Amino acid sequence: MVNEKVLRPGGLTDVPGILVGNAENKEGRSGCTVILCPDRAVVGVDARGGSPGTLLTDMIRPGNAADTVEAIMLTGGSAFGLPAVAGVNRWLVEQGTDVPIVPAAVIYDLVYAKGTNPPDADMAYAACRAAKKGPVVEGNVGAGAGATVGKVYGTPMKGGLGTASVQIHDGPIVSALVIVNPVGDVWDRGRILAGAQWPDGTFVDITRTFLSGAPSPLPGQPKGTTIALVATTAKLTMAEASRVATLAHDGMARAISPVHTQDDGDTVFCLATGSDTSKLIGDAAVTVVGTAAAVVLEQAIVRGVLAANRWRRIY
């Protein structure tokens, strides 16, 4: 892991022009997180999991018409949470947007939600109203309200929302926000930080259990998904932003094992505001910013799990 002294104390909103808003139901069993960029930002996306739940991601792929957006929504509720994007659309129209384009991704939190209503348009609208710059609350908030970690062979622990950022020397800021909800365990410095546990509280170690030849879980069970957004002040094209999103997945792979499984819908968005005044552009920007994106995404995953389990509650 990178020396933590180079990491900034804030998170996603360290990138100027990025606002974050959260909302969740009263029981805290599910929720949504809205990222607003009122001045628009170049967008990219890369989905690596085998069960992605997304909206409008085809529209923001290189070669298609929409190369900038004003908002991204991350939500719980699985496929039932996607219609909540209507609340973000309503908010943007009220702010003067003619035809909003709001890409979205969901996590599978239906088991933990225990039958509570999934995020809806009113909840997403409330998240937009709450969106602000400044420190982002971490843990079981927003789309991380119902997140869990380690859903194989044992009892999962809580997942949640995490965020982190870094300032590249004489270059752009790179930040990340993630909703940590994987099938696999979360690792930090070679040890399991959160994941599936046996009744005695010891970790299952899902990866090692797989390799030992233990019977695999039933097909389609359990479901997971980690979704994230990286933001940067760098100047990137749509294709470059998508490549940065691809490189950011390396941070997810360093912090989660197993990752990108058939039962995870792991997806990373990238927003580039272009306000950086350095000369870091083109292929060099993609490599450097993408490397930094992996670092801050890894750190955001760790922070999200630590914030969610500060009292080591197990669910």
- Each residue's pLDDT tens digit, 86-143: 999 999 999 999 999 999 999 999 988 877 899 999 999 999 999 999 999 999 999 9
What's the chain's Rg over C-alpha atoms?
A: 18
pLDDT tens per residue across span 175-197: 999 999 999 999 999 999 999 99
Q: In the chain, pLDDT over 70 holds for what percent of residues?
A: 94
**pLDDT at 115 (0 to 100):** 76
Q: Where are the domains of the chain?
A: 4-308
Q: How confident is the model at residue 314 (pLDDT cuts 50, 70, 90)?
A: very low
Q: Which long-range contacts (CB under 8 A, 24 or more apart) does 165-169 make?
A: 165/7, 165/8, 165/10, 165/11, 165/12, 165/14, 165/15, 165/296, 166/2, 166/6, 166/7, 166/8, 166/292, 166/295, 166/296, 167/6, 167/8, 167/14, 168/280, 168/288, 168/289, 168/292
b/e per residue 202-226 (b: at least 16 CB within 10 A): ebbbbbebbeeeeeeeeeeebbbbb
Look up the pTM and report it. 0.95
**pLDDT at 31 (0 to 100):** 97
**pLDDT at 6 (0 to 100):** 54
**pLDDT at 218 (0 to 100):** 56
Integer Cα distance of 10 and 20 in angstroms: 13
- Whether the pLDDT of residue 312 is over 80: the answer is no
**pLDDT at 315 (0 to 100):** 39
Integer Cα distance of 95 and 89 in angstroms: 10
Q: How confident is the model at residue 313 (pLDDT cuts 50, 70, 90)?
A: very low
Integer Cα distance of 106 and 289 in angstroms: 25
Domain 4-308 is classified in which CATH homologous superfamily? L-amino peptidase D-ALA esterase/amidase (3.60.70.12)
